[in-house]
Structure 1
Amino acid sequence: MTGQSTRQARAVVDELVRGGVTDAVLCPGSRNAPLAFALQAADAAGRLRLHVRIDERGAGFLALGLARGSGRPVPVCTTSGTAVANLHPAVLEASHAGVPVIALTADRPAELIGTGASQTVDQTGIFGGAVRLAVTAATDDRRVRAQVCRVLAAAAGPWAGPVHLNVPFTEPLVPDDDVWPAGRPAGQPWTSAPPSAQVAPPLPLDPIAPTLVLAGTGDPAPAYAGLPVVAEPGSAAWPHALRAGPWLLDDQALRPAQVVVAGRPTLHRSVQRLLADPDVAVYALAGAAPWPDVPGTVRAVGALPQMIPDPVWLATWKAADRAAASTLDAALDIGLAPAGMRLARELVAGLPPGSALTIGSSNPVRDIALAARPRSGITVLTNRGVAGIDGTVSTATGFALAGGGPGYALLGDLTLLHDVTGLMTGPDEPRPDLTIVVLNDRGGGIFGLLEQGAPEHAGAFERVFGTPHTVDLAALCAAIGVAHTAVAPADLAGVLEPAPGVRVIEVPADRAMLRSAHGELRKAIGASVAEAVAHGA
């Protein structure tokens, strides 16, 4: 007779597949052996695609990337103990970014909790409020299938996000047959749950007032006809946004009467300064996620009503945008702008149509926002839920595996080093076509642009903020078995053709003058914009 844990695990996996799961991530362990056998059997039968990893933290971010790329819930399965805790960073990112990741964790039986048993911690509620739902699995087939359906529904929304299914297993942990439990007819979940929908009332905007749209990740619409849009990479509006929009937000001549916040913009301090201006009326578009409101100024949340855009207002913003972009490109062309910005411009322009681009937090996403020309034909992922650098290689791997085209990533050197295990893929695992472009300035360049990078803190800066390293990326890649190439930003286009497997393209840079280069570029752009606005060009 099939053991209880084997029956339980098979019911969980079978119901996940029936509920639409197509990918699953697994880390090795003993207590999760019933799930490991069930997932492997489902993979062998072509019912899902299994990805095995040795590092739970990276595995969580791999699941996140797969879920972002596919739009489907993706379980990540671990054994008990600290293995579960290692999922927490990915669960937090998934929670704030609205990504349906399922933490599928094996546990010791309840009677072993608190007894000093090996690899045993209290896993109930371990993720706190970061998950949309936390469930301890039942042991009988009927109840556990109903629980899986409830978990999938919670992961899907209305505000998508991570869920936790904790499965206590008793011994024996290995199967003695290959008989799967009977569920409902093939292809049907135990409980069918329709997707939730929300209808928001129109915002009380003045339809003729000068209006600016600020778009971030999770914005509900790709375009806002007739209104100037400043959008972050990763937002649906970015391909249609102003090229140099982030450079223009502090210009008083371009101050709007009202702002519409779409999604969750988090990149630029100038955005928060604008939203905190008491003379600007701030409204937020309704979406699945709670609306953002850092300065506490949002007056209403709803849908965008019919607007009557002022052609003079739009023309002024476009003129300022052209002037800023012209000055920016001139500085990039002659090498007066930071190398990261030149790299960002060349990378985005050179990506093949259909590419999936993952952008690391810290400087890379800001360099693209400040220097790249927004474009369509690519999909962009940024881990801006909590904006950490951890797990980005794994996220990019999952995003590339879920997409139909070639995968690319733009990372800083510390972001790569933070997730080196993300480069390690077993010989039997699905492999993406992923090109990882790394700006290597041998440390934490972004801190040089913040307050701690000011000259008066130079004595402490390099060791505790710059965090220099001496890692040879070529040797590191060789040790892992990943192809490596080093190029200058100007030569990037020549190595961006899609290639099979994972490869690293290293772009060496010097961060010593990063702060001053940013300052000089901002002054030059400000002067050109002021002239353009004054002349009405």
Structure 2
Amino acid sequence: MSSWLLAQCVVEQLRQAGVRHVVLAPGSRNAPLSLALHAAAQEADPVLSLHVRIDERSAGFLALGMAKAMQEPVAVVTTSGTAVANLAPAVMEANQAGIPLVVLSADRPLTMINSGANQTGNQFGLFAGQVRHQVQLTSDAQPAAWRFQLRMALARAVGERTRMPGPVQVNLHFDEPLMPTDEVLDAPGPWHLEPSGAGPTLSLDGDLRTVVLAGDARPEVGRLAAAVAEHGQVPLLAEPSSNARVGRAISTYRLLLGKDDLGGRIQRVLVFGHPTLSRPVTRLLRRDDVEVIMVADGAGWSDPGFTAGRVVDDVDLAPCQDDHWLNHWLTADLDMQTRIELAARPAVGEDPVVTPQQVATLVVERTAGQVLVLGSSNPIRDADLAPVPDALFSGQVPGTRVYANRGLAGIDGVVSTAAGIALALGEPTTCLLGDLTFLHDAGGLWLGRLEDRPLVRLVVPDDRGGSIFHTLEQGGPAHEAGFERVFATPHDVDLAALAAAHGWKVATVTDLEELGQRIRVPVRGPELVVVPVSRDGRRAWAQRLAAL
């Protein structure tokens, strides 16, 4: 057997498992697999699409974005040495979010480990505790063994039998020669992956004042949450990336949860997805006077308050017996939306300035029914307060497909994740992200001259630093002396120039009308829109919201 045959076997099994996209970070030790993948991608009717990136961290998040959008396994290939370690952030996010990310890490021969040989370290087990499965294959084994191990890894990635999809690592010990040979792999037997089905449905009556809480989730889970709320005639508290924010969803729920006549009267919560955004939600889930039922997506579920009394696969909620419960929330939501709009207006005598909240509200409105990616930190929280667009409320357009890396909610890899989503879907994609989030993944701006251009538009409210910390405890007067340096981390980077240097179309807009016009223009390729905003009012804005 040889490294070339092992590489062919990997490609063969990727195809059989239905993998359509592979992201490659070039190197020397992964040469057999690189050449085998390139040959597969150049076939007359290719099954595999190959995407090349020079930065492994960017490659990992590009693959993550594709897998997130398509809900199917996507592979990422690295060479030996430190290369694979750069995938750690993407693997950790994939683990927490249940994304089928397949790590194919090329390695030196097993006998060279600990020998001091160049680019040779112990790569196996690098992601222990973060992957659903890990295995190492050597080039001197038999194809039957390779196939079994690869099938097992790919089955674990999609959650076959376990209903817990997630990342896996296949560590490939390639020995020399690394170049193609005349050897041909024997034909494989038939095989396919099929995730397990769901369990029974829980039927609930309408005697308790119930809310449906939808956190970060796949589009079909979001649609289920919205349908349950509609059928039960109960309030729908939907985070932006829940994909449930349609119809009569309560957009100001995190402010209303603190009201005694609303949040204080909740008796039961049905939780879909992975809620992460606000402390009021966390407090709700920790109340001992509220029945918490988790509707699991697969074998795992989210229970940060450790209060879930039941975990079910599906739920049928009878209409609420309190005829005024839903209307009370809807009326309060409209009133709070008006208050937020008035609070955002400049006072008499103040110069009008564009605020991050206004940018988020406009982006949410203008991307209704399209594909939207939200960065962590402030952008997704600003979008959380944006009203449900009229087109979604009336059902004129299908729900916006909203994506965000909420597994661990890091700011890393967002540019690459958005590009991966755009490439996988082949549709125009808008991404709202902060300036530090943008800079953190500057490597994701690099697009090789021979690579496909994603239809992605990045909208960055640029406040020259990290404004979310203004709203936390460390943003208070007691910590003012060191705040700017150790929390706000101010910068002087010209974001537009940075993107332009990578060949992106760029624009800087200074008012909402111009921003709205820019967003209306169809996305033709990689584009950055910078909106200068100020950090000065972020803490005051949070205080005004708390007082509403």
Aligning the two structures, in what range does the TM-score lie when normalised by the shorter sequence?
Answer: over 0.9
Aligned to 1:153: 155
| Cα separation, 1, equivalents of 2:179 and 2:190 | 25
- Give aligned-pair identity as a percent: 44
Q: Quote how far apart the aligned CAs of 1:304 are.
A: 2.0
1:65-464 correspondence runs (5 A): 65-138=65-138, 139-157=141-159, 158-177=163-182, 180-184=184-188, 190-200=190-200, 202=202, 207-218=206-217, 220=221, 221-223=224-226, 224-225=229-230, 226-240=233-247, 241-254=249-262, 255=264, 256-302=266-312, 303-309=314-320, 310-332=322-344, 339-351=355-367, 353=369, 355-373=370-388, 375=392, 376-464=398-486
Aligned to 1:495: 518
CA pair 180-373 structure 1, distance change in 2 beyond 3 A = farther
Contact 2:61 2:417 in 1 (8 A): yes
Contact 2:79 2:107 in 1 (8 A): yes
Q: Quote how far apart the aligned CAs of 1:49 are.
A: 0.8
Question: C-alpha offsets along residues 490-525 of structure 1, whole Å, 9 cap, x if unaligned?
Answer: 12110012232101000111101210122113323x
Contact 1:433 1:498 in 2 (8 A): no
Contact 2:96 2:408 in 1 (8 A): yes
| Secondary structure, counterpart of 1:252 in structure 2 | coil
Aligned to 2:22: 24
**One-letter code aligned to 1:27:** A
Contact 2:23 2:63 in 1 (8 A): yes
| Cα separation, 2, equivalents of 1:340 and 1:261 | 29
Aligned to 2:7: 9
| Cα separation, 2, equivalents of 1:78 and 1:404 | 25
| Secondary structure, counterpart of 1:239 in structure 2 | coil
| Cα separation, 2, equivalents of 1:171 and 1:190 | 31
Q: Quote how far apart the aligned CAs of 1:261 are.
A: 1.4
CA pair 55-16 structure 1, distance change in 2 beyond 3 A = same
CA pair 286-129 structure 1, distance change in 2 beyond 3 A = same
Contact 1:389 1:418 in 2 (8 A): yes
| Cα separation, 2, equivalents of 1:170 and 1:210 | 64
| Cα separation, 2, equivalents of 1:365 and 1:507 | 16
Q: Which range is displaced more, 27-36 or 337-346? A: 337-346
| Cα separation, 1, equivalents of 2:502 and 2:317 | 55
Q: Quote how far apart the aligned CAs of 1:206 are.
A: 5.5
CA pair 486-430 structure 1, distance change in 2 beyond 3 A = same
Contact 2:24 2:52 in 1 (8 A): yes
Q: Quote how far apart the aligned CAs of 1:372 are.
A: 4.3
Gapped regions of structure 2 (runs ≥ 5) = 393-397
Q: Quote how far apart the aligned CAs of 1:192 are.
A: 2.9
Q: Quote how far apart the aligned CAs of 1:145 are.
A: 1.9
Question: C-alpha offsets along residues 262-298 of structure 1, whole Å, 9 cap, x if unaligned?
Answer: 1110000110111122222222112215222222211
Contact 2:214 2:275 in 1 (8 A): yes
| Secondary structure, counterpart of 1:202 in structure 2 | strand
| Secondary structure, counterpart of 2:433 in structure 1 | strand
Q: Quote how far apart the aligned CAs of 1:257 are.
A: 1.2
Q: Quote how far apart the aligned CAs of 1:338 are.
A: 7.7
Q: Quote how far apart the aligned CAs of 1:337 are.
A: 9.7
| Cα separation, 1, equivalents of 2:86 and 2:523 | 32
Q: Quote how far apart the aligned CAs of 1:117 are.
A: 0.9
Gapped regions of structure 1 (runs ≥ 5) = 525-537
| Secondary structure, counterpart of 1:416 in structure 2 | helix
CA pair 507-479 structure 1, distance change in 2 beyond 3 A = same
Aligned to 2:543: 519
Contact 1:145 1:190 in 2 (8 A): no
Query: How does the TM-score come out when normalised to structure 2?
Result: 0.90
**One-letter code aligned to 1:243:** S
Contact 1:344 1:372 in 2 (8 A): no
Contact 1:346 1:372 in 2 (8 A): no
**One-letter code aligned to 1:297:** T
| Secondary structure, counterpart of 2:76 in structure 1 | strand
Question: C-alpha offsets along residues 192-230 of structure 1, whole Å, 9 cap, x if unaligned?
Answer: 343212304527x56311111111012732412211011
Q: Quote how far apart the aligned CAs of 1:308 are.
A: 2.8
| Cα separation, 2, equivalents of 1:372 and 1:420 | 31
Contact 2:271 2:292 in 1 (8 A): yes
Q: Quote how far apart the aligned CAs of 1:478 are.
A: 2.4
CA RMSD, 1 decimal? 1.9
| Cα separation, 1, equivalents of 2:153 and 2:511 | 46
Q: Quote how far apart the aligned CAs of 1:169 are.
A: 0.5
